[in-house]
Structure 1
């Protein structure tokens, strides 16, 4: 009997983890609908580098800040409910962005892109959902697998420009909206919360305040802002970078960006699994060291296609390993009843880390020499600061934080 129950539980958690990863992927695709088309919008609407950067960065900002609230709501209502809510709420913004793009209106694209950020909040749902299904010794693996939902950015980078060429701009957005609707229906029918899930019915604001008082929240927020922020920034801005530096078409730039995103996605569960076996600190240290090195190499504009691809794919691998390592660290240290609140804040910090680099890249672009040296060197410096902070200030083995009154 006990064996049958164990097998049934194992099957259920596998099914729910796979489904959660798919929900994340389709929402990440929706969240990244503007990035792969940014060069097209910039050309059609005669946008400056700064205006194009704002267009790319706006959904990132909203998707990041929204995670703070969504994480706490997940503690209260459970991942199943919140996955359904986020997927459903993202449908109208996706269609609105398609309509704004069809109308060739930059102001409308900015406004609709603001609400498109809703899709980006999905990450704060999945981490506590995955945590609740798996024992502590496998949470690094579980959160790493869920993090593979970042593949949605690769899917968007590769398919969105092609869909636009094949079906048209608005029809492409309709396809993604339908996918979101079918995903929400699948969650209603198939998805279940873990039997170990216990709703935290306390008010949201006190939970957030309590989570904000935990040192682990801000320590992990800083680390995640670098690794996930770097991933988000490059996933959204790389099409512009590749077209500007190397002169590729939007479709070709999208394909290369998809390779970058896919490498980071595949590396994420590797980082999580490594962090289950060794102290997450060492996984994160390797990530920062590799990120700084490859960003410095990128300053010299490696020639296409082999050397530039090797540079950015290796950079993506180091960023992906870091994202898996950081959240394995969060799973170890955050109080069980406030994982959602802590996750929300940390995930928001990661998203915010991806908001500013596109703006910096656009603002520091040197049109005379056609290079992004300043922006890339700032990434090098940031990664080195994070490397030093992790090495000198954070301990490899730390006990799980204890909840304060707002967590209970």
Structure 2
């Protein structure tokens, strides 16, 4: 590449990566519209702990499963088309959830929350999009920066309760819908696929089947289900946890949840960048060890605000580093032509990893003693099992990339 074209290419990379991160942030905000308001819904609609956890978990489930198909479609149509399509498709569910909440209907909230999960599929678009723009040696950095779009959960946790207090429930959802529409228009005008992108026109189902035959797909799915699943679960359920354990208001609980989400978001590119310099295995091992320790500390309910904040923010940092490390590992090991399909399955596993913990936390909540001890100890055990598996079964130095079997 000539010196004249290199700066121009770097600028295009930067612009498109920044746009992709912004699209992810807005869609993550839309995906997380219910979580920050869960305590309000629980109070107004007199929901049980289990009912509230189902409400929070439903968008997570659809956002997870939908990533499998969206990742394969990204291989075919490219990130630009899929970013636009998902942003537009998320508008109606956002408005519908707002209308259901304003009407005070729990069944409609759950039903429309199901379709709100569409916004959560955005992650399966960005990883192959970023990979195509960057050479292998910088893909950990690129996927880590794109992963910072998770900041949308922090924005939602912090701003959604405040916007509802200032403008009302439905108007807040209208504002997010407008932001989604404006984001789609911005992508039409300014976003481009990388010159390296080549559409994979093979039928979607055979591509998914081929990706499912790769060992890397299931190895990385297991790891990502824990680190990203932990992030999603806490980002959505932490407002309820904080309300129950520390008796904060919805606004105060949202602010503290935003701090958790922001810490994980900022840690993600650190995990990706570290994985460009040292084997991702060691980054992921550090993540699991730290997660187990901090979850165990949380069992003892550190007093607010300094000690509880330090506990959960440190937990968020370890989870964030792990998410960056796992996807840097995916970028190294997945066959280039199958990155979207592998990403879709792995990111779906991450979403599913975030679906079950809120249900477990709701089901194991000890109302008599006001604690979530069982749920937190299950996280400790899961992190330790993943730590042992990663240490004993996975290689620090990568073998040659597997090719998808026909």
Counterpart of 1:31 in structure 2 is: 31
Alpha-carbon distance in structure 2 between the residues aligned to 1:173 and 1:241: 24
Q: Aligned runs of 1:137-156 on 2, under 5 Å? A: 137-156=137-156
Answering whether residue 121 of structure 2 is matched by residue 159 of structure 1, we say no
Counterpart of 1:216 in structure 2 is: 216
Alpha-carbon distance in structure 1 between the residues aligned to 2:141 and 2:376: 31
- Shift of residue 402, structure 1, vs aligned partner: 2.9
Alpha-carbon distance in structure 1 between the residues aligned to 2:171 and 2:120: 22
Counterpart of 1:278 in structure 2 is: 278
Alpha-carbon distance in structure 2 between the residues aligned to 1:159 and 1:404: 43
SS in structure 1 at match of 2:110: helix
Counterpart of 1:2 in structure 2 is: 2
Q: Deviations over 1:345-367 (max 9, x none)?
A: 00000000000000000000000
Answering whether residue 369 of structure 2 is matched by residue 372 of structure 1, we say no
- Shift of residue 405, structure 1, vs aligned partner: 4.6
- Shift of residue 398, structure 1, vs aligned partner: 1.6
> Is the Cα contact below 8 Å between 2:242 and 2:253 reproduced in 1?
yes
Counterpart of 1:181 in structure 2 is: 181
> Is the Cα contact below 8 Å between 1:334 and 1:400 reproduced in 2?
no
Counterpart of 1:334 in structure 2 is: 334
TM-score under structure 2 length normalisation:
0.99
Structure 1: stretches of 5+ with no match in the other structure? none
Aligned length: 406
Alpha-carbon distance in structure 1 between the residues aligned to 2:387 and 2:32: 29
Alpha-carbon distance in structure 1 between the residues aligned to 2:30 and 2:397: 38
Answering whether residue 64 of structure 2 is matched by residue 92 of structure 1, we say no
TM-score under structure 1 length normalisation:
0.99
SS in structure 1 at match of 2:3: helix
Q: Deviations over 1:185-228 (max 9, x none)?
A: 00000000000001110000000000000000000000000000
Counterpart of 2:323 in structure 1 is: 323
Q: Deviations over 1:283-302 (max 9, x none)?
A: 00000000000000000000
> Is the Cα contact below 8 Å between 2:72 and 2:204 reproduced in 1?
yes
> Is the Cα contact below 8 Å between 1:216 and 1:401 reproduced in 2?
no
Answering whether residue 94 of structure 2 is matched by residue 80 of structure 1, we say no
Alpha-carbon distance in structure 2 between the residues aligned to 1:301 and 1:362: 17
> Is the Cα contact below 8 Å between 2:335 and 2:404 reproduced in 1?
no
Alpha-carbon distance in structure 2 between the residues aligned to 1:146 and 1:388: 29
SS in structure 1 at match of 2:194: coil
Counterpart of 1:236 in structure 2 is: 236
- Shift of residue 2, structure 1, vs aligned partner: 1.5
Structure 2: stretches of 5+ with no match in the other structure? none
Alpha-carbon distance in structure 1 between the residues aligned to 2:80 and 2:126: 9
Alpha-carbon distance in structure 1 between the residues aligned to 2:15 and 2:378: 42
- Shift of residue 404, structure 1, vs aligned partner: 2.8
Alpha-carbon distance in structure 2 between the residues aligned to 1:338 and 1:91: 30
Alpha-carbon distance in structure 1 between the residues aligned to 2:383 and 2:404: 32
- Shift of residue 27, structure 1, vs aligned partner: 0.1
> Is the Cα contact below 8 Å between 1:268 and 1:320 reproduced in 2?
yes
SS in structure 2 at match of 1:2: coil
Alpha-carbon distance in structure 1 between the residues aligned to 2:317 and 2:87: 28
Counterpart of 2:58 in structure 1 is: 58
Alpha-carbon distance in structure 2 between the residues aligned to 1:41 and 1:155: 19
Alpha-carbon distance in structure 1 between the residues aligned to 2:66 and 2:405: 24
> Is the Cα contact below 8 Å between 2:35 and 2:56 reproduced in 1?
yes
Alpha-carbon distance in structure 1 between the residues aligned to 2:250 and 2:196: 47
Answering whether residue 192 of structure 2 is matched by residue 202 of structure 1, we say no
Counterpart of 1:249 in structure 2 is: 249
Counterpart of 2:303 in structure 1 is: 303
C-alpha RMSD over aligned residues: 0.7
Counterpart of 1:47 in structure 2 is: 47
Alpha-carbon distance in structure 1 between the residues aligned to 2:342 and 2:206: 12
- Shift of residue 4, structure 1, vs aligned partner: 1.6
> Is the Cα contact below 8 Å between 2:213 and 2:405 reproduced in 1?
no
> Is the Cα contact below 8 Å between 1:77 and 1:199 reproduced in 2?
yes
SS in structure 2 at match of 1:3: coil
Counterpart of 2:350 in structure 1 is: 350
Q: Deviations over 1:73-128 (max 9, x none)?
A: 00000000000000000000000000000000000000000000000000000000
> Is the Cα contact below 8 Å between 2:338 and 2:404 reproduced in 1?
no
